Structure 1
């Protein structure tokens, strides 16, 4: 899967608390590792789950990580293809400094299919950190199915902006 398949789709303006001075250069993909957390029911909407998308700064310097990552869910063949390009919601922090060895997290909000809907379960996630061109991948957590809404105006599955993790 080429990293070029991730489509930008900014849906809302950024908001949130700035973390840091804004002087550190952006984190390069080569300076980051990726971990997907366990799905948890979304506190905002029944039927949706939040999956933490956590980036760890593996370099020896502080770098900036802010904006919305490009995210593709990759899985079995489907009527719309084996890749689901997630829309982006820019609701993270305006600027975020990530010291060496610490993390910053975005959330993938997932709408599970209803009992009568076709089930599609991804096998992995491909993500490009904001401002970068190289991708990171991780296995999709457990067996969480996703309702594919590839052509929907306001789909229930999307990626949120990056937030500063608590110290």
Structure 2
């Protein structure tokens, strides 16, 4: 009788062990997806490395400036879409210019702590001799991360001026989505 109980107990352990090993991975607790980055999670700035500087001294073609976001929080977060960018001008007549968006489709970027992603601003520089009412002289950029309402105020470090097209339907100065 003792050996029969031992055999039943041993069979129960074997069955329980087998059952536990057969639990599908989908039944394991799911890891939470990261949520979007908030302005307070990020720091921002202009890329100023030699290969990142826009060519503001030439007037024959468009050039790009790059703005970066770095995740300074202790959590993973995501950015997807277009930043809001309002340029304020140095000339009294410049005012504020909200930049148009390109037709590129945004992608979702996942940022671990310390990761950086950027986006480009395409600019059309003009000569200093361009009449005042036809040029915009950038001073500061108010940069709002996608889906946020708080912005960063960035000083324009590159000089130059751009063709003023703040009322144009398809201006030569515009921005791309984050990550593209």
Q: Is the 8 A contact 2:124 2:163 kept in 1?
A: yes
Please list every run of 5 or more consecutive structure 2 residues that lacks an aligned counterpart in the other structure: 1-31
Q: Which residue of 1 aligns with 2:95?
A: 82
Q: Which residue of 1 aligns with 2:158?
A: 142
- State the TM-score, normalized to the length of structure 1: 0.74
Q: Which has the higher helix share?
A: 2
**CA RMSD, 1 decimal:** 2.4
Asked if residue 37 in structure 1 is aligned to residue 51 in structure 2, the reply is no
SS in 1 for 2:108: coil
Asked if residue 52 in structure 1 is aligned to residue 66 in structure 2, the reply is yes
Asked if residue 27 in structure 1 is aligned to residue 33 in structure 2, the reply is no
Mapped to 1, the partners of 2:111 and 2:145 lie a distance apart of 13
Which structure has the larger Rg? 2
Q: Is the 8 A contact 2:102 2:176 kept in 1?
A: yes
TM-aligned CA deviation for residue 141 of structure 1 = 2.0
Say which of 117, 132, 150 aligns to 2:148. 132
- State the TM-score, normalized to the length of structure 2: 0.69
Q: Which residue of 2 aligns with 1:112?
A: 125
Please list every run of 5 or more consecutive structure 1 residues that lacks an aligned counterpart in the other structure: 1-21
